[in-house]
Structures are given as structure tokens and as C-alpha cells.
Chains A and B, each alone.
Chain A
Amino acid sequence: MSALRSERVDPNAPLLGVEHLTMRFGGLVAIDDVSFDAEDKKITAIIGPNGAGKTTVFNCLTGFYKPTVGRLTLNHPRKGPYLLERMEGYQIPQKAAVARTFQNIRLFSQMSVLENLIVAQHNKLMEASAFTFAGLFGLPRYRHAEAEAVELARYWLNRVGLEDRADWDAGNLPYGDQRRLEIARSMCTEPVLLCLDEPAAGLNPRESADLNRLLTFIRDEHNIGLLLIEHDMSVVMEISDHIVVLDYGRKISDGNPDEVRNDPAVIRAYLGEEEDEELPPEVAEDLASDKSDKR
């Protein structure tokens, strides 16, 4: 395991450090030399137009893709630093405690809501069941661990308002509940960094407001870092502490919500080229050369 740890231990290092991340698929450059940090106890949002490479960043962080170039350092507050790009996909949540949700919800839809949350505590329970042997004979140690797991699940069910429906099949829940259940499931892995891929997609305004409360609760009460991909600006601007803007795989802006809101590069990326004539001439020139670079 020591190979996965980086040698330098820096108490002031950010929770997550992304340095020079580049991801190529064949000839296509999905992410081009992106660097940013995500702080502990802060909500960091990654925004950008469609196809900007946001989900690819997540997939690199959570081990679904191996980055072409780059270093992804996670400084676990208790266990020290991990180099995510060198770890197997399943080890990232297991050892470095990075959890994620998916853009298209991925629940275990034929299993019950409670079971979804118990499965999330798989590694802990496997150990408690002495890799099944203790569990097979019903030893008290395992029963105790399972009861604890249920309590953690109950806590999160209560948080997302699904306690009543704990025994439903997850696939039978309404859409908004499925979104929240997925977040609860990620939290049951007891992460230090939670990555949320468009958690507000498809939610109505009321549900969206609930989500904001849930996310700030997680940040403030559970003291973990959140990384968020979101299109819904009401969510992003309201709860984010720090925003990273991507466009065509490059980082075009980075700062707090107010800075990003007023950054001309961001406005251009979102509002498109029709606005070109209203931009200062030197910026427009930059932009033009930028575009031709990409072709």
C-alpha cells in the first residue's frame, strides 16, 4: 500500500489536489492540463457547458478512467495522502474514502432501500463477519456490527426523509427520492470527499432547495469536502464555496462564486460567440486564436 501513498506529508495541503490532469481518448482530448484544489469542509463546484469534460474529471478521480497525465492527491485527514491515479477503482472509495454519485442514477433497484445502504458498508461488514465465517455461524460480533450498520443507515434515511420507505424496492421510489437515496448511500461509506455528479438534475424547485440544505448539512455537520458537478446555477451559486469552470476540457476560471460570476471568460463560454462584438477587442482576439487552436 505504501506505493499508493505520496511521500510528502503536508498538514496544510488541500483535501484534494488535482495537478495537470489530462485525459485523451485516442485523438480526442477530453481534459487538457487541468489543475485545481478542493478544500476540506468546503463545497467545490465544477461547472461548464455540455461536453466540457466535467464527468471525465470525476471518472478520473474515482478510478473509472486512468488519467493520461496528471497527479491526483487525496490528503485523508487521518490516514495521510493517497495518489488516486495509481489506485484500482474500487480501492479509491475503500481506502482513500472518496465516494461518488452518478449522473444517471445507479441504485441497486431490485434491492430494498435499506439494503442499498447496507451494501454501501460492505467492507466494514465483511471484516466484522470475518470474511463470512463468523457471519455464517451467527457470532455476536457480526450481529453487533450489522445492528450498527442499520443504525447508520437509519440515520441517513432519516436525513433524506426515506425512513418510512426503507423496505421498498429502491427502483420503485420516485425520481427525486432515488437521487437522495444515492447520496445517502454514498454517505454510508463514510467518505472524506463526496463527489456528486449533477445531483439536482431533474429535481423540482422544492426538491432542489431540500438538496441544498442536505449538502450544506453534510458539509457543516460531517466536516467533509464536497465536489459537485452541476448545471443548476441556483444550486451552484447558493451553496458553493469555490467554483472551477471548465470549457472544452480546459480550466477557464477558478474562484469564489462572485469572482466566477463576473469573469468574462465564463460569460463567453456560457453565452457563446454572439456576444463576441460586445467583448473587449483583445479578449475577442484571444478567443478566436483559442478556438482555432482546438480545431
Chain B
Amino acid sequence: MAYFVEQLINGLTLGAIYGLIAIGYTMVYGIIGMINFAHGEIFMIGSFICLLSLMVLGLLGITWVPLALLLTLIIAMILTSMYGWTLERIAYRPLRGSPRLAALITAIGMSIFLQNYVQILQGARVRPMQPLISGGFEIMQSGDYIVSLSYLRLFIWVLTLVLMVAFTLIITRTALGRAQRACEQDRGMAALIGINVDKTISLTFVMGAALASVAGMMFLLSYGVIDFFIGFLAGIKAFTAAVLGGIGSLPGAMLGGLLIGLIEAFWSGYFTVEYKDVAAFAILVLVLIFRPTGLLGKPDIEKV
């Protein structure tokens, strides 16, 4: 039971990270119908920026953890968003309206580019970081086995929850959210009624990148090591989450993220750690074959 609870905690944390990345995939897919394969790389850049920012802040003498985290969060969101924005502006915008496969190849090209860009600028070695948030509550004990809920996990959950609420409000209550939903339905019509489609799409990428950078920070804090390659697997798993939840659906992305996180945690806990990535890929394949609309997605009738 204790072991189960521990895996549950692990899974929910992992799920929060995947969910935040998955939102970026699902929003972009919803609005321009492309798989932004480079989104995993944006997440990776976000986590690098967090690492650098924490270190620079430390150098500047800001060592009070809550303040350092808050500042890092803001810096990372801004700077990572710039990467998301630039990505869309130079690589994707010229390809609007071209075949899906061309857009996907571009995205793969950008993903390879960004990976190597970071490798060249930041080195290929794994970057470790001292744990910033330590300690936690003891919530369960069975024999010698103590399950604790660390403050870090709690921080990640609360942050995810706050972001989700804020994000839902943006999508449902603001003009930007309305513009976004309009573009999703019909871009041509949205442009005709005076919505700045380019700006809306740009902002979609900006929001996706900002959320990915937060996920990057969570990843950095909970694993303590990052390298230029983390975006690939995390990206694919988050994409799986988006597909599982139903691509295009925002609550679906978060739900899918949590499910993927839980599946991965329990799989590693009860079966084999080695094959945990296979589990994620297998889910991706199975969902696409048997339920391509995912759990919360809308069905897509073939037009002839």
C-alpha cells in the first residue's frame, strides 16, 4: 500500500509535467493542425534557462529560495516564450497552408536544429543541480518503509493547479481566448471578422512555450539533472498524452498527461523500469489505432 501511494505521488508529479507540455501540443494542433514536433525542445530550452537563471541569481546573491524561484519562473517564461514565438515566425508561418507532411518535416528539422543549438552552446554533458527544495511531510508508514510527500512535489502540484486555473480563465474569459477558439473553428472566417490570425497563432505558441518552460523548471527541480536530449522523450510522451486526451482538447491534454505519468510510474514500479518508454509508445500506437479521437476529442467525419 505504501509503495502504491509512493508510485501514485511519483505518477502525479510526472503527469503534471507531461500535462503542461501536452497543452502546447494540443493548442498548436487545434489552431493550425500541425504536430509541433519541436515543442519538446522548447521544454528543454526552458529547463536550461531555469538552470542558468537560478545560477545567475545565486551569483547575484538572491538565495532566498521562494524569491529565486519566482524570479526564475518569470525569466524562464519570458525568454522561452521568445523561442516559441521565433520558432513559429521563422519556421512555421511561411508554411501555412502547405501539406501536413511538409509542416511536420519542418518541425522535425527545427527539433534537430534546436537540440544541436543547445548542445553547441551549453555543452553535451549532463548538467547537475543541487536540490533547492528539500524536506516534506511523512504521510504514511508501513514497517520501515516511510512514504513522504516532499514540499517539492507539493509545490509542483500547486503550481500546476494555479497555472491550469489561470490558463482556463484566459481561454474562456478573455478576448484572446475567444480569438483562439474562433481561429480553431475557421481561420478564414476569423480573419474576415477582424481577428488578427497571425497574432493569435503567435500568442498560442507563446503560451505553449511559457507552460513548457514551467514544466522544464519542474523537471529540473525534481530530477536535478538535465541535458540537451531531454526534450525528445519528454516531447513524445507529452504528445502521447495529448493524443490520449484527445488532440485539440485542453482538459484532455492535462488528463492525458496525468494518465501517462501514472502509467509510467506504476509500470516502472511494478513491472520493469527498462521498458517504461515502450509502454508510452505502445499507448500512443494503441490510441491512434483504436481511438484516434482520444478520450475527450471530437470525432472527425471523413469528407469525400
The answer to A–B direct touch (Cβ < 8 A) is: yes
Q: Is the CB of B301 within 8 A of A25?
A: yes
Q: How far is the CB of B159 from chain A (nearest CB, A)?
A: 39
Q: For residue A217, which residues in chain B have a CB less than 8 angstroms away from its CB?
A: none
Q: For residue A102, which residues in chain B have a CB less than 8 angstroms away from its CB?
A: 304
Docked CA distance A26–B301 (Å): 11
Q: How far is the CB of A105 from chain B (nearest CB, A)?
A: 12
Q: Is the CB of B302 within 8 A of A64?
A: yes
Q: How far is the CB of A36 from chain B (nearest CB, A)?
A: 21
Q: For residue B304, which residues in chain A have a CB less than 8 angstroms away from its CB?
A: 55, 59, 64, 102
Q: How far is the CB of B18 from chain A (nearest CB, A)?
A: 31
Q: For residue A64, which residues in chain B have a CB less than 8 angstroms away from its CB?
A: 302, 304
Q: Which of B262-304 contact A (CB under 8 A)?
A: 299, 301-302, 304
Q: For residue B299, which residues in chain A have a CB less than 8 angstroms away from its CB?
A: 26
Nearest residue (CB) in B for A62 is B304
Q: For residue A25, which residues in chain B have a CB less than 8 angstroms away from its CB?
A: 301
Q: How far is the CB of A114 from chain B (nearest CB, A)?
A: 25
Q: Which of A44-96 contact B (CB under 8 A)?
A: 55, 59, 64
Docked CA distance A55–B302 (Å): 13
Docked CA distance A64–B304 (Å): 8
Where chain B touches its partner, the secondary structure class is: loop
Docked CA distance A64–B303 (Å): 9
Docked CA distance A102–B304 (Å): 8
Q: How far is the CB of B7 from chain A (nearest CB, A)?
A: 39
Chain A interface size, as a band, is under 10
Q: How far is the CB of B100 from chain A (nearest CB, A)?
A: 17
Nearest residue (CB) in B for A64 is B304
Q: How far is the CB of B282 from chain A (nearest CB, A)?
A: 28
Interface core residue of B299, B301, B302, B304 (most chain A CB under 10 Å):
B304
Q: Which of A217-234 contact B (CB under 8 A)?
A: none
Q: For residue B301, which residues in chain A have a CB less than 8 angstroms away from its CB?
A: 25
Docked CA distance A119–B244 (Å): 38
Nearest residue (CB) in A for B299 is A26
Interface string of A22-34 (1 = CB under 8 A from B): 0001100000000
Interface string of A183-206 (1 = CB under 8 A from B): 000000000000000000000000
Docked CA distance A55–B301 (Å): 14
Q: For residue A59, which residues in chain B have a CB less than 8 angstroms away from its CB?
A: 304
Q: How far is the CB of A229 from chain B (nearest CB, A)?
A: 13
Nearest residue (CB) in B for A106 is B304
Nearest residue (CB) in B for A56 is B304
Docked CA distance A59–B299 (Å): 18
Docked CA distance A102–B299 (Å): 23
Nearest residue (CB) in A for B304 is A64
Q: How far is the CB of B297 from chain A (nearest CB, A)?
A: 14
Q: Which of B149-183 contact A (CB under 8 A)?
A: none
Q: How far is the CB of B304 from chain A (nearest CB, A)?
A: 5
Q: For residue A26, which residues in chain B have a CB less than 8 angstroms away from its CB?
A: 299
Nearest residue (CB) in B for A103 is B304
Q: How far is the CB of B209 from chain A (nearest CB, A)?
A: 36
Docked CA distance A43–B43 (Å): 61
Interface string of A205-247 (1 = CB under 8 A from B): 0000000000000000000000000000000000000000000
Docked CA distance A102–B302 (Å): 14
Nearest residue (CB) in A for B302 is A64
Docked CA distance A217–B167 (Å): 64
Docked CA distance A254–B301 (Å): 30
Q: How far is the CB of A280 from chain B (nearest CB, A)?
A: 40
Q: For residue B302, which residues in chain A have a CB less than 8 angstroms away from its CB?
A: 64
Interface string of A1-37 (1 = CB under 8 A from B): 0000000000000000000000001100000000000
Q: How far is the CB of A186 from chain B (nearest CB, A)?
A: 15
Interface string of B16-46 (1 = CB under 8 A from A): 0000000000000000000000000000000
Docked CA distance A250–B301 (Å): 22
Interface string of B229-250 (1 = CB under 8 A from A): 0000000000000000000000
Docked CA distance A59–B301 (Å): 12
Nearest residue (CB) in B for A58 is B304
Q: How far is the CB of A249 from chain B (nearest CB, A)?
A: 16
Q: How far is the CB of A65 from chain B (nearest CB, A)?
A: 8
Interface string of B48-80 (1 = CB under 8 A from A): 000000000000000000000000000000000
Q: How far is the CB of B299 from chain A (nearest CB, A)?
A: 8
Q: How far is the CB of A207 from chain B (nearest CB, A)?
A: 24
Docked CA distance A25–B299 (Å): 11
Docked CA distance A102–B303 (Å): 11
Docked CA distance A65–B112 (Å): 41
Docked CA distance A25–B302 (Å): 12
Docked CA distance A55–B304 (Å): 9
Docked CA distance A93–B301 (Å): 22
Docked CA distance A26–B304 (Å): 18
Docked CA distance A26–B300 (Å): 12
Q: How far is the CB of A88 from chain B (nearest CB, A)?
A: 15
Docked CA distance A184–B223 (Å): 64
Q: How far is the CB of B62 from chain A (nearest CB, A)?
A: 57
Q: How far is the CB of B298 from chain A (nearest CB, A)?
A: 11
Q: Enumerate chain B interface residues (CB-CB to A < 8 A).
A: 299, 301-302, 304
Q: Enumerate chain A interface residues (CB-CB to B < 8 A).
A: 25-26, 55, 59, 64, 102
7 contacts between A and B (CB under 8 A): A25-B301, A26-B299, A55-B304, A59-B304, A64-B302, A64-B304, A102-B304
- Please name the 7 residue pairs, one residue from A and one from B, whose CB atoms are nearest each other, closest first: A64-B304, A59-B304, A25-B301, A102-B304, A64-B302, A55-B304, A26-B299
